[in-house]
Amino acid sequence: MNFIDVNIIKNVPNYKCDLERIMIMSLVSILLIAIGLAMDAFAVSISSGIAIKNLKIGHSIKIGSFFGVFQAIMPILGWLAGNSFVKYAGKYSRWVAFLLLLFIGGKMIYESFVIEESEAKKDVLSMINLLLLAIATSIDALAVGVTFSLLKIDVMEPSVIIGIVTFFISVIGVYLGNKLGDLFGNKIEIIGGIILIGIGVKILVVG
């Protein structure tokens, strides 16, 4: 993890202790970034868990894997794109995320009224649905990758950490959402859809 110039540190007394301290701080920073980036995926995982009845471990792993993989890939793509991404795509990224989440959230609310439970579960776990959600919730990670590029920070290790953290947080979110669904019944899916739309608005307005 090349977060610092080791040759500079070597010129400082007790450089080994300083180097270790800085590396620990860098790891903590990456973990905090990973947790922050995973919050949208966590909220979306809760809404997905709400819609799934008779949850199995494979369901949560599938959802967590989609979100984790995309959160890991996006910083790498952002790092490779660098300034060109900011110039050509940055101003549209919030709208892309907003429209995707608005569409999926509205669809979820609609389906809570007209679609049977088995069909709703199948739709939540469909490849296209998970793909759209994973893209929408990982656009911030793309921007983080651009930042890493500008700061000359190696991206591979942070990306792996971000992906792993997102995976586990998403799995937890699915189980929490499923418990809420068990407590409040089918119409809790309306809340799940509202959560998605709310995240989209937040991304559009706040970033």
Q: pLDDT tens for residues 194-204? A: 776 887 787 77
Give the best-scoring range by mean pLDDT among 28-32, 69-73, 114-118, 134-138. Answer: 69-73
Q: Tell me, what's the pLDDT at 65?
A: 95
Q: Please give the average per-residue pLDDT across 22-30, as a whole number.
A: 65
- Look at the pTM and tell me if it is higher than 0.85: no
**Token digits of residue 197:** 């739309």
* Max avg pLDDT among 17-21, 107-111, 160-164: 160-164
Q: What is the mean pLDDT of the chain?
A: 75
Q: Which of 34-43, 94-103, 139-148 is least confident?
A: 94-103
Q: Specify whether the CB–CB gap between 146 and 80 falls below 8 A.
A: no
| Residue 19 pLDDT class (50, 70, 90 cuts) | very low
Tokens of 25: 């701080």
> For residue 102, which of 2, 205, 194, 4 has the smallest C-alpha distance?
194
The phi, psi pair for 103, rounded to 5°, reads -60, -50
- For 79, residues 6+ apart whose C-beta sits below 8 A from its C-beta are 145, 146, 148, 149, 155
Q: Which of 202, 181, 176 is nearest to 60 (CA)?
A: 176
Note whether 1 and 154 are within 8 A (CB): yes
Nearest in space to 129 (alpha carbons), one of 54, 34, 196: 196
pLDDT at res. 76: 92
pLDDT over 60 at 3, yes or no: no
Q: Is the pLDDT of residue 62 over 70?
A: yes
Mean pLDDT of the region 101-126: 66
The whole-angstrom separation of Cα 165 and Cα 171 is: 10
Structure tokens belonging to residue 164: 């792993």
